């Protein structure tokens, strides 16, 4: 075969092979498509949380978009999220939640997320996250410091403040019980420590004047709420917010109520990694782990599969790296990471 013919045939074969490969591009981390993917990931991740607080987007650190021959797109994004002051029970949209300020010991979560886009709709298919609070050295001198969620004196403030809240309810109400502790912190004041506590509460079957063992009402009947309290062991102040339920609560004094089955409320000691905050360590769909960064951020996280099947993403062939661009042709401003929204 002539050399020219060989070159032509090889060129045609290479072109046909390339048509079966996905194209990869890295858009600006502040581009509209990066923002859309980041917000979709934020909403999905918050929907998976059952303890602690919601997280808000702080920065898009990196984004990669792979377009497959069939037109479908796969987004791989690295995000920096910050803990907000909205508990997971709070129905307030994340966009309206206040990010926890530095002086309250901020909590940051690093997340790697894989999304697919088909028909203009973004769907999260895999993610892994790890959260960490600021170290004590990073918190201002004299500011409250986080203490473990099983701190004895701080939990006494929780119990005392909940009793104060129940004591303020009218006689037609029912008592509320502790659902979970969100945060505990302590500050040195004259004479000892002042404690700042945050916790979730749930409605029980006990009337206000009842002394029997109270049982939380089953879902979705029992209202839930969130309380913020502070003080010393002998004097506390508390402010609680109750969240609406889809159905009105049961009247515990009504006839024919029947026995109440306790809901599956996890006990504090059963929450994995419980220490100074509700650790947000999670990984979903390990089958797509090949597309997540190999940072090792979630090495100790148990693997949990989603129930919905997903298209395998590991069969994507490796695309050769593009040749290096001369320094003179590089953009003057960095494309990634993107802007910092909070701090």
- In the chain, how many domains are there? 2
Q: What pLDDT shows up at residue 295? A: 42
Global pTM exceeds 0.85 = no
Q: What pLDDT shows up at residue 224? A: 94
Query: DSSP letters along 318-339, please?
Result: PPPPPPPPPGGGS-SS--SS--
Are both 43 and 91 inside the same structural domain? yes
Are both 108 and 189 inside the same structural domain? no
Q: Is there a domain that residue 316 lies in?
A: yes
Q: Is there a domain that residue 256 lies in?
A: no
Q: Is there a domain that residue 161 lies in?
A: yes
Q: What pLDDT shows up at residue 12? A: 47
Are both 134 and 218 inside the same structural domain? no
Are both 48 and 131 inside the same structural domain? yes
Q: Which of 270, 300, 317 is the last residue of a domain?
A: 270
Q: What pLDDT shows up at residue 141? A: 85
Are both 122 and 44 inside the same structural domain? yes
Q: Is there a domain that residue 5 lies in?
A: no
Q: What pLDDT shows up at residue 176? A: 94
Are both 235 and 315 inside the same structural domain? no
Q: In whole angstroms, give the CA distance from residue 140 to residue 301.
A: 31
For 175, the domain range is 148-249+261-270
Are both 27 and 77 inside the same structural domain? yes
Q: In whole angstroms, give the CA distance from residue 58 to residue 38.
A: 10
Are both 226 and 281 inside the same structural domain? no
Reading the chain (343 residues) residue by residue, the pLDDT tens digits are 455 444 444 454 445 444 556 799 999 999 999 999 999 999 999 999 999 999 999 999 999 999 988 888 999 999 999 999 999 999 999 999 999 999 999 999 999 999 999 989 999 999 999 999 988 778 888 899 999 999 999 999 999 999 999 999 887 788 999 999 999 999 998 878 999 999 999 999 988 877 778 889 887 788 999 999 999 888 999 999 999 764 444 443 343 333 333 333 333 333 434 566 666 666 666 555 566 654 444 443 333 333 333 333 334 344 444 455 454 555 445 589 999 999 9
Domain CATH for 135: 3.10.450.10
Bond from prior residue into 101 cis (ω within 30 degrees of 0): no
Are both 156 and 226 inside the same structural domain? yes
234 CB-contact burial (10 Å; exposed 0-12 / middle 13-18 / buried 19+): exposed
Q: What contacts 195, CB < 8 A, 6 or more positions away?
A: 147, 153, 154, 157, 184, 185, 186, 187, 230, 231, 232
Are both 135 and 34 inside the same structural domain? yes
Which strands, in side-by-side order, build the sheet including 235-243? 145-146, 174-189, 192-207, 224-232, 235-243
Are both 90 and 200 inside the same structural domain? no
Are both 161 and 238 inside the same structural domain? yes
Q: In whole angstroms, give the CA distance from residue 196 to residue 228.
A: 8
Residue written as tokens 């070159």?
A: 7
Handedness of CA 329, 331, 334, 336 (dihedral sign): negative
Token pair recorded at residue 289: 């782990």
Q: Is there a domain that residue 337 lies in?
A: no
Q: Is there a domain that residue 207 lies in?
A: yes
Q: What pLDDT shows up at residue 22? A: 74
């Amino acid at each position: 075969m002539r050399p020219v013919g060989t070159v032509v045939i090889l060129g045609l074969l290479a072109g046909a092979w390339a048509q079966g490969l996905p194209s990869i591009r890295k858009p600006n981390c502040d581009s509209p498509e990066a923002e859309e993917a980041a917000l979709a990931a934020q909403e999905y991740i918050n929907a998976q949380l059952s303890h602690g607080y919601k997280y808000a987007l702080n920065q898009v650190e990196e984004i990669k978009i792979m377009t497959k021959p069939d037109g479908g797109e796969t987004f791989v994004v690295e995000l920096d999220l910050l803990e907000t002051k909205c508990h997971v029970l709070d129905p307030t949209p994340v966009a309206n939640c206040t990010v926890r300020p530095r002086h309250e010991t901020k909590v940051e979560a690093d997340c790697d997320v894989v999304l697919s886009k088909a028909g203009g709709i973004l769907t999260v298919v895999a993610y892994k996250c790890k959260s960490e609070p600021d170290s004590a050295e990073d918190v201002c001198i004299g500011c409250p410091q986080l203490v473990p969620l099983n701190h004895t004196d701080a939990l006494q403030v929780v119990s005392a403040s909940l009793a104060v809240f129940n004591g303020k309810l009218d006689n037609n109400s029912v008592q509320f019980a502790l659902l979970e502790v969100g945060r505990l912190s302590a500050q040195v004041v004259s004479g000892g420590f002042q404690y700042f506590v945050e916790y979730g509460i749930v409605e029980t079957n006990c009337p206000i004047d009842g002394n029997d063992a109270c049982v939380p009402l089953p879902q979705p009947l029992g209202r839930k709420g969130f309380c913020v309290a502070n003080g010393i062991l002998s004097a506390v102040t508390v402010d609680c917010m109750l969240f609406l339920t889809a159905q009105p609560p049961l009247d515990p004094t009504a006839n024919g109520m029947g026995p109440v089955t306790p809901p599956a409320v996890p006990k504090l000691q059963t929450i994995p990694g419980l220490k100074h905050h509700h650790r947000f360590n999670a990984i979903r769909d390990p089958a797509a782990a090949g597309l997540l960064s190999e940072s090792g951020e979630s090495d100790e996280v148990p693997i949990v599969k989603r129930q919905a099947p997903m298209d395998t993403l590991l069969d994507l062939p490796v695309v050769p790296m593009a040749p290096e661009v001369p320094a003179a042709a590089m953009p003057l401003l960095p494309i990634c990471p993107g802007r910092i929204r909070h701090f």
